[in-house]
Amino acid sequence: MKNKIRRLTKELFPELRAIRHHLHMHPELSFEEAETSLFIREKLAEWGIPFKYGLCKHGVVGLIKGKNPRKVIGLRADMDALPIKEENEVPYKSRVDGVMHACGHDVHTTCMLGAAYVLNVLKNQINGSVKLIFQPGEEKLPGGASIMIKEGVLEQPKVRSIVGQHVHPPLPAGMVGFRKGQYMASGDEIFITIRGIGGHAALPNDVVDPVMISAYVLTALQTVVSRHSDPKIPTVLSFGRIFSSGGATNIIPDTVYIEGTLRTMDESNRQRLNKAIRTIVSATAKAHGGTSRVKIKKGYPSLYNDPVFTAQCIKAAQDYLGRDNVVELDKRMTAEDFSYYSQTL
């Protein structure tokens, strides 16, 4: 079987490289992947792989039936790109201004198309069936995974286990990595509004300065991790954007906005810290004469890989690639909506 897989992948490699270049040149944003979806469907049809289309708007779900159709494993690839302008100078540079496959989803889709081709050729030697999940909208809340699950992607036939992949540039080509158990963090988006009373900078006694209040709020929020979070649980609170409504060098604005993200690897800790953020912001703003509003958009849950199934995948990878080419990955504070699949199964 290994030799057959190696032969097929070697033969297919030039086409897969062309597929990846095509996808990279034609990126589409989350939930807008119409042409990407069409391209995938055309490839599956060309290779004789049956599929359904329309889950989560542009999702494609293929099915390769092996010798035991009731034993189903899922493979998942995300399809969407990011609102980033590509500055690389390569022949396959993005042709869509301001949109780029900067997170590797073009590679994910290409790899799964390659796996689909090989598995379909060898389907009579597979003791089970493979459901191919080409998923939209991984980069944008509420996440395409959550929508596809609600629309029944893991049913009819029922998926027993599922594998997702992600490019990892620190790993040399030819190597793969796995991690059993907890791997990635949850990711909540935080939006804070601080309101005061604006006015002229030369008359600070006549204003309630939301800029100054925001500075105190940001400083106070550093205690969320250092004093409110369980120190045994990896947790990050970061703020990447602060701006005002109005204001100038000599004008104090009425309102300041702060935006950031909370990431942790425990759901109880996550809820406790969400509450702490609201309490600290409200109390700090009030102490300085201002008012506040906190909106927290609940993001993806933390990602947990089933240890038993992951061990099986590691063994298979070692058998195919060699033990030296399979490594254990460190935990990451990034978030991935694949966590919805792992929590469901």
Burial 149-175 (b: 16+ CB within 10 A, else e): beeebbeeeebebbbbbbeeeeeeeee
Give CA–CA dist 216/222, Å, rounded: 10
Q: Of 33, 80, 188, 254, which is the active-site residue?
A: 80
Q: Of 32, 33, 86, 138, which is the active-site residue?
A: 138
Q: Tokens 């158990």 map to which residue? A: 181
CB 81 within 8 A of CB 102: yes
Give CA–CA dist 343/15, Å, rounded: 35
User: Does residue 80 have an active-site annotation?
Assistant: yes
Write out the two tokens for 332: 């990451």
Indicate the DSSP class of residue 296. Answer: E
| DSSP β-ladder status, 199-200 and 251-252 | antiparallel
The answer, yes or no, to whether the previous bond of 231 is cis (omega within 30 of 0) is no
Indicate the DSSP class of residue 169. Answer: T
CB 50 within 8 A of CB 63: yes
Q: What's the distance, Cα to Cα, between the start and end of the chain in Å?
A: 29
**DSSP string for residues in 194-234:** EE-B-EETT-GGG-B-HHHHHHHHHHHTTHIIIIIS-TTS-
> What angle is formed at CA 332 by the lines to CA 330 and CA 335, rounded to 5 degrees?
150
Give CA–CA dist 339/241, Å, rounded: 27
Write out the two tokens for 88: 């690389």
Where in the sequence numbering do the catalytic residues fall? 80, 138
